[in-house]
C-alpha cells in the first residue's frame, strides 16, 4: 500500500500548554499483537523489517531539521544584536566562502528579515550565521530545548545534537586533526539546519511551540 512507503513522524502540540495533541510514527504496527503473547513469526517480521516499525520516530529518531531551524538562528541573531527586523541581504542564488560555493534553492534578490524567513533564503542565513558564530547559535538552540530530552513519559527518547567547535573536537576526538577542526563551512551548514544539527520531531515541535506562544 502507498501509505507504507512513508517513513517518518508527525507531532502536534498545544502551544499554550505543551501538551501532546497527536503523535504518529510510520510505519507502525498493531499493538494488539502484544496484548497477550506475540507469535514468533509476527515478532520476527517486526524485528527484522528494514523499515524498523518498532522505532518511535517521533522521539527516538534524529533528523536534520533543515529550514525549520532557521527561525532559531533568527532568534539568536536578534538576541545577540547581529541582525534586526530591518536587516537586509542581497541573495544572488549562492554564497561564496573563499572559493567554495554554497548554493541557495533559488535566487531571491534583496530580502529582509521577514521575507528571508518567508522565502527560506539560505544566503540570508549563511550571512547572518557567520556573524552570529557557531557558539552563539548552539547556545540559543539549547535554550529552545535542542540537544536535550524533553522528558516526555515515553521510553527511548533521543537527545539529538547541536554542534559547536568544542562539540566537534570532542565528538571526533579519535579522528585525524583535520576532521576535528571547525571550519567556516560547518557554520554555514549549521545556519540552515544541516550538517551535524540533528533533532527529534518532538524537539522541533516544542521549539516551534515556543515561537508560537511568545517564548
The catalytic site residues sit at 67
Cβ-contact 58, 205 below 8 angstroms:
no
Cα separation, 42 vs 35, whole angstroms: 13
Bridge partners of 23, per DSSP, are: 11
End-to-end CA distance of the chain: 41
Cα separation, 140 vs 44, whole angstroms: 43
Q: CB 124: neighbour CB atoms within 10 A?
A: 31
**Rg of the chain (C-alpha set):** 20
Question: Any residues with CB less than 8 A from the CB of 173 and at least 6 apart, and which?
Answer: 180
Cα separation, 48 vs 35, whole angstroms: 20
CA distances from 162 to 132, 154, 172 (A): 15, 22, 14
Amino acid at each position: 500500500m502507498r501509505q507504507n512507503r512513508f517513513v517518518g513522524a508527525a507531532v502536534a502540540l498545544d502551544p499554550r500548554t505543551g501538551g501532546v495533541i497527536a503523535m504518529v510514527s510510520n510505519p507502525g504496527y498493531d499493538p494488539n499483537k502484544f496484548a497477550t503473547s506475540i507469535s514468533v513469526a509476527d515478532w520476527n517480521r517486526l524485528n527484522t523489517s528494514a523499515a524498523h516499525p518498532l522505532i518511535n520516530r517521533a522521539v527516538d529518531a534524529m533528523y536534520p531539521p533543515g529550514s525549520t531551524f532557521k527561525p532559531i538562528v533568527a532568534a539568536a541573531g536578534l538576541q545577540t544584536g547581529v541582525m534586526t527586523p530591518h536587516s537586509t541581504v542581497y541573495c544572488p542564488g549562492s554564497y561564496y566562502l573563499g572559493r567554495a560555493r554554497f548554493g541557495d534553492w533559488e535566487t531571491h534578490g534583496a530580502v529582509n528579515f521577514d521575507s528571508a524567513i518567508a522565502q527560506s533564503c539560505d544566503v540570508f542565513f549563511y550571512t547572518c550565521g557567520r556573524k552570529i558564530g557557531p557558539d552563539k547559535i548552539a547556545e540559543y538552540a539549547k535554550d529552545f530545548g535542542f540537544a536535550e530530552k524533553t522528558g516526555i513519559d515515553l521510553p527511548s527518547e533521543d537527545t539529538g545534537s547541536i554542534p559547536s567547535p568544542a562539540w566537534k573536537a570532542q565528538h571526533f576526538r579519535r579522528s585525524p586533526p583535520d576532521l576535528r577542526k571547525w571550519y567556516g563551512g560547518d557554520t554555514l551548514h549549521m545556519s540552515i539546519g544541516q550538517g551535524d544539527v540533528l533533532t527529534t520531531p518532538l524537539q522541533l515541535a516544542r521549539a516551534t511551540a515556543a515561537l508560537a506562544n511568545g517564548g
